[in-house]
Amino acid sequence: MKTLPAGVLAALASAATGLSVPVAHWTPVGVASPRFESHAAFDPRNGDLYFVRSAPDFTGWRILVSSCTAAGWSEPRPAAFAADGVEADPYFTRDGGTLYFISTRTTDGVHRKALDLWRVDRDAKGTWGTPVRLPEPVNSPNTEWFPRPAPDGWLYFGSNRPGGFGGNDIWRARPGADGVWRVENLGPNVNTKGDEYEALPSPDGERMIVMADGDLYESRREADGWSPRVKLPPEVNSPNMEVGAVFSPSGRSLLFARDTKGPESGEFFVYREGGPPEPWPPRCPAR
């Protein structure tokens, strides 16, 4: 039997029961501010929170880090691998040994205008190495967004490179046995004439959240590729922008940022799909 996308199931349940899909603010003291916080990533090794803070109008992105202490989340600090330019979209591999991000940092003495995909590795002691720009054809002369590795070995990302269906499309890449990277467009089930910026595979690789034109959609893995995307319920998608989604380890909760257009600008929200509640995002301090 074919499984309906979780977004469709949630919408049907909401219509049948009259209950809202559970979406709640997540505004931890020490992290939330009048600026724009987005693109959270929890360190699998020590629980640190990496996130992007920008101006209220969502410009000037920087990756910051906050640690959970006995007094709560610490004052955010720049990531150890920070450089010049703008940097955003942090994401850890499952073992915490690698973090992907985007950056316009200076490379070989040249400050890049377009955002590129980068990775940085760290050793067993937790020391970050030197960030490495991913090679062509993963990066292009155009802009790349939101690098997210999937369990099947593909690296998903957004790009406005030529050959797509619209301004920005979702692409994926992986190296072959010869070390040469293969890059392909996800096709018309996911991409449109509009802008698709971000693709987030679930922890089990069976579904994917897509941020397109400021809203969040869901697609399911099928035998011949990804299913046509379905918009998540209106409790998730507001009239303003939703961005920077990340799954809980179980895949049952989704943390994302929303432009509230209010005094606090960008804020975090949590979407829970039902079932037994899970303690995520992590409490700090734990109680």
The predicted-structure confidence for 92-147, as pLDDT tens digits, reads as follows: 999 999 999 999 998 877 777 899 999 999 999 999 999 999 999 999 999 999 99
Contacts of 172 (CB under 8 A, 6+ apart): 150, 154, 155, 156, 157, 183, 184, 186, 199
For the cut 50, the answer to whether the pLDDT of residue 10 exceeds it is no
- Mean pLDDT calculated for residue range 35-50: 97
For the cut 60, the answer to whether the pLDDT of residue 3 exceeds it is no
Q: What is the band of 32 on the pLDDT scale with cuts at 50, 70, 90? A: very high
d(CA 22, CA 118): 35
Looking at residue 7, its pLDDT comes to 43
How does pLDDT run across 135-189, given as a tens digit for each residue?
999 999 999 999 999 999 999 999 999 999 989 999 999 999 898 999 999 999 9
d(CA 91, CA 99): 5
**Distance between start and end Cα atoms, the chain:** 42
- Mean pLDDT calculated for residue range 46-70: 96
CA 71 to chain centre: 28
Distances (CA, A) of 152 to 81, 116, 117, 155, 175: 28, 23, 19, 9, 12
pTM score, whole prediction = 0.90
d(CA 94, CA 204): 12
d(CA 165, CA 169): 7
Q: Are 169 and 186 in contact (CB under 8 A)?
A: yes
How does pLDDT run across 207-254, given as a tens digit for each residue?
999 999 999 999 999 999 999 999 999 999 999 999 999 999 999 999
Backbone angles phi, psi at 160, to 5 degrees: -105, 25
How does pLDDT run across 248-276, given as a tens digit for each residue?
999 999 999 999 987 878 999 999 987 77
Looking at residue 287, its pLDDT comes to 66
d(CA 140, CA 93): 23
For the cut 50, the answer to whether the pLDDT of residue 8 exceeds it is no
d(CA 68, CA 62): 20
Looking at residue 263, its pLDDT comes to 80
